[in-house]
Amino acid sequence: MRGVVAVLVCAAALLAGVPPAGARDAQRAPAGFVALDAVAPGVLTDLRYHGSHNFLGEPVVGYREPVCLLTREAAEAVARVQRAALRRGYSLQVYDCYRPRRAVERFVAWAGDARDTRTKAEFYPRVPKERLLAEGYIAERSAHSRGSTVDVTLVRLPVRPTRAYVPGEPPVPCYAPRAARYPDASVDMGTGYDCFDRLAHTLSPHVTPAQRAHRLLLRRLMVRAGFADLPQEWWHFTYRAEPYPDRSFDFPVARGSLPASGPSRPPSRAA
């Protein structure tokens, strides 16, 4: 009987266009996806969803390796931004790149769980959790799942080392002064990453002139390279000429998910 039920569940999932849970792990990226460090090896990474310092408070399903995967077009655009940033004494740092659908589904499920408020004091102190979906802080569909969206910031060069996040350390509001927030190599943008607060809106009138200047510099560099910003999040940019505007992928974040023909590792030093 269990076998019959399993077959029926799989058939229903296929008819709905959703791969069964067991089939998701076997999915691979389509042609044209690359690892960012193979195209722009100097870009810094702080890939929050692979670890526990994020609004879930735990590693996110689907993030098997701390690697930034993107479509080649978006990765090459990020490389152009990096070159422009370096000329100004900065480096880019990415927080998130391609995001599997299963991770998006986990975010939505978390938003609907009123009992889980472990990270409220840091990531959404002033917003009731039941409002996160309605106010757009959590989305049922994400541009990240198309592979051409990045969450990014600027880091002043030379890079100063920062201490590692200690799971369980006392939370600090994401809009607290930079010296009080969780240490991040980023320049002061007025809030930390994934701050579910109006202060994170790019043009918030409540940030300092220096914080606004950092936000506008980041936006200017990204827009010039072909990205469109999301006004509600100073860190969020989507490549306008994205090759998969109508797709949503669910392969895991891992180098092994990349197509065999595309570069998946940074070039050797000898190259």
| Residues with active-site annotation | 233
Element (H, E) at 224: helix 209-224
What one-character-per-residue DSSP string does 202-222 give?
TT-TTS-HHHHHHHHHHHHHH
* Contact indicator for 42, 93 with CB cutoff of 8 Å: no
Strand partners, 92: 154
Give one DSSP letter per residue of 175-204, joined into a string. TS-TTTSPP-SS---SS-TT--SGGGSTT-
Spatial separation of the C-alpha atoms in residues 253 and 26, rounded to whole Å: 12
| 100, two tokens | 């599997």
